[in-house]
């Protein structure tokens, strides 16, 4: 399924100036003022299942192409259709990213796909690339159907390959890409109650590994992998993404791995394998698996994992004494600095700068920058 990458050309001076102008116009971060304290409904976590076979709908030209040497995106999951979701959408609208990664769990209810899509397009516009990957609530069609979401919020990025909504990749900008986004769906059930096979050396494992390897060999500065479920977490969830699959992402030094599912915000240090850390083991901690620590690690040392399951619905508690806590730099949950909001990332050839922007009524914040070697 991994096809050839799109051609990358040179940008002339005129185009570069135009790109710079458009980029400046498009990237005005404006974190909203934190405000009063929220009362949000808690969704019920559950299961999932099967799926469709669609390929990406035809892409429309988007602002993602205009920014030249940078990419600005937001990411969050676990959204719902309530007041929290709308507040987070307001934040995204204010940040004016080129695209948003919606990391699954959209409505938590059946039959509300159109309402969800209308809520999104009402805030962000009908042409905005609000890019989907399924969560466990819609992957099997039980609480809304990923196939319906994909129809009402279709892919808007040119050059996307794979099965949009489930397993896809895209380079942004299409010409001279700064980042490759690889979205996958391990650890959740699809139609028929079965998970997709991401076991070692399976077709989907190889698709993912090849996408990472090719990005590196093609000189794309940053690789971002997204999926609904995390592996390491201080919230309620276990390693649903799979230990082997997660270690493969670390061994390949993916720069940033994004997830939702646990309704918390949490960010790890750079994690790496090798030497005295042959592989990370869930529910345990080894200092030998820590690479870059702090807020400005250097690219290539390891992988930073961020869970942004705070896109609108009710929060879960975090366990401050979780065995994996040593891997984390910062975290937030229902019982610790509760927040809804979004991750906001701007990447250039030199650095990837990320920050968490809280929705109105919240004050938790985070920021880190990965420096290019």
Q: Which residues contact Fe ion by CB under 5 A?
A: 78, 105
Shortest gap between Cβ of 97 and Fe ion (angstroms)? 22
DSSP type of residue 298: B
Shortest gap between Cβ of 51 and Fe ion (angstroms)? 18
Give dist(CA 220, CA 9) in Å, integer: 13
Closer residue to Fe ion in complex, CB, 19/240: 240
Number of residue whose CB is nearest Fe ion: 105
Shortest gap between Cβ of 92 and Fe ion (angstroms)? 18
Residue 107, sorted as left (phi over 0), alpha (psi -120 to 50) or beta, turns out to be alpha
**161, 159, 191: which is closest to 176 by C-alpha?**
159
Closer residue to Fe ion in complex, CB, 5/318: 318
Give dist(CA 129, CA 178) in Å, integer: 17
Give dist(CA 117, CA 106) in Å, integer: 9
Closer residue to Fe ion in complex, CB, 46/293: 46
H or E stretch covering 163: strand 161-163
Closer residue to Fe ion in complex, CB, 106/362: 106
DSSP 224-276: EEE-S--SS-SSS---TT-HHHHHHHHHTT-SEEEE-SSSSEEEE--B--BTT
Shortest gap between Cβ of 233 and Fe ion (angstroms)? 12
Closer residue to Fe ion in complex, CB, 45/279: 45
Judging by DSSP bridges, how do beta strands 341-348 and 351-358 pair with one another?
Answer: antiparallel
Closer residue to Fe ion in complex, CB, 105/145: 105
Give dist(CA 223, CA 225) in Å, integer: 7
Shortest gap between Cβ of 303 and Fe ion (angstroms)? 23
Shortest gap between Cβ of 313 and Fe ion (angstroms)? 6
């Amino acid at each position: 399924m991994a096809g050839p990458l799109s051609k990358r050309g040179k940008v002339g001076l005129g185009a570069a100036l135009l790109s710079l102008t458009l980029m400046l116009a498009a990237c005005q971060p404006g974190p909203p003022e934190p405000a009063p304290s929220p009362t949000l409904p808690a969704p019920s976590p559950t299961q999932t299942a099967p799926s469709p076979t669609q390929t990406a709908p035809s892409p429309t030209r988007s602002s993602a192409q205009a920014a030249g040497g940078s990419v600005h995106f937001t990411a969050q999951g676990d959204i719902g259709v309530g007041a929290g979701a709308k507040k987070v959408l307001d934040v995204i609208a204010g940040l004016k990213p080129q695209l948003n990664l919606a990391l699954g769990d959209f409505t938590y209810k059946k039959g509300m796909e159109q309402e969800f899509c209308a809520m999104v397009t009402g805030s962000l516009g009908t042409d905005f690339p609000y890019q989907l990957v399924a969560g466990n609530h819609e992957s099997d069609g039980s609480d809304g159907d990923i196939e319906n979401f994909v129809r009402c919020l279709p892919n808007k990025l040119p050059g996307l390959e794979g099965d949009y909504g489930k397993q896809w990749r895209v380079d942004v900008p299409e010409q001279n890409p700064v980042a490759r986004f690889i979205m996958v769906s391990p650890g959740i059930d699809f139609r028929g109650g079965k998970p997709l096979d991401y076991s070692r050396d399976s077709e989907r494992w190889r698709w993912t590994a090849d996408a990472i390897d090719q990005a590196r060999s093609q000189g794309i500065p940053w690789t971002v992998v997204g999926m609904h479920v995390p592996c390491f977490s201080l919230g309620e969830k276990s390693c649903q993404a799979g230990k082997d699959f997660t270690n493969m992402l670390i061994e390949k030094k993916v720069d940033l791995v994004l997830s939702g599912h646990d309704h918390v915000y949490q960010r790890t240090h750079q994690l790496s394998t090798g030497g005295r850390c042959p592989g990370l083991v869930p529910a345990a901690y080894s200092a030998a698996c820590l690479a870059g620590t702090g807020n400005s690690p250097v690219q290539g040392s390891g992988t930073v994992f961020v869970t942004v399951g705070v896109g609108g619905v009710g929060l879960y508690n975090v366990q401050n004494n979780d065995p994996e806590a040593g891997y984390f730099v910062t975290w937030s949950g229902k019982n610790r600095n509760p927040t809804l909001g979004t991750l906001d990332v701007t990447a250039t050839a030199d650095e990837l700068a990320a920050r968490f922007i809280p929705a109105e009524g919240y004050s938790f914040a985070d920021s880190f920058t990965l420096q290019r070697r």
